[in-house]
Amino acid sequence: MHELTLLFGVAEQVGKVTEENGIDHIDAVVLDIGDLTAVIPEFMMDGYQVISDEYDFLRGSELIINRIKGIARCSDCGEDYYVVENEGICPECGSQRKDILTGKEFLIREVRVLEHGEPDL
C-alpha cells in the first residue's frame, strides 16, 4: 500500500511547515490528487487515521482530498477531453495519442489551522 509511504511524506512536509511557523497542531490537510495517479483516495483516508496518530501535530486532524479530473489534449485533432470517462480515447477522432494536461497532481494544497481560543465561560 504505497498510500502509507505518500502519507508519511505528507506528514514530513506538514511537519516542516508547522516548525517554520511555530504551529503546535493543525486541524486539516488538503491534498490535490489527480485521478490519473495510482493513488486510491479511500486508502489515503484509512491510512491517514493511522499516520495522524503517530505525530503530535496531526493527531485528531482531518484529511481532505481534492480530486483533480484528468484532462488530455488529443495530439491528432487538438480536442481536450476527460481521460477516465473516455478511457483515454479522443471522443472526436478516436486517437489515443495525447498530452496529459491535468490529473497527475499529488500535492499539499493547504494546511488548515483553526483558532483554538479557550471558551469564555
Q: Pick the closer one to Zn ion by CB: 23 or 77.
A: 77
Query: Which residues in 54-83 contact Zn ion (CB under 5 A)?
Result: 74, 76-77, 79
Q: Pick the closer one to Zn ion by CB: 19 or 76.
A: 76
Q: List phi, psi (to 5°) of 87.
A: 50, 35
Q: Pick the closer one to Zn ion by CB: 74 or 83.
A: 74
Contact call for residue 32 and Zn ion (CB under 5 A): no
Query: Which residues in 81-100 contact Zn ion (CB under 5 A)?
Result: 90, 92-93, 95
Contact call for residue 101 and Zn ion (CB under 5 A): no
Q: Which of 33, 30, 44, 40 has the alpha carbon at shortest distance from 68?
A: 33
Q: Pick the closer one to Zn ion by CB: 5 or 95.
A: 95
Determine what percent of the chain falls in helix, strand and coil, rounding each to the nearest 5.
25, 25, 45
Contact call for residue 39 and Zn ion (CB under 5 A): no
Q: List phi, psi (to 5°) of 120.
A: -85, 105
Q: In Å, how far are 47, 52, 53, 118 from 4, measured between CA atoms?
A: 6, 11, 13, 34
In the complex, the residues that contact Zn ion under the rule CB under 5 A are 74, 76-77, 79, 90, 92-93, 95
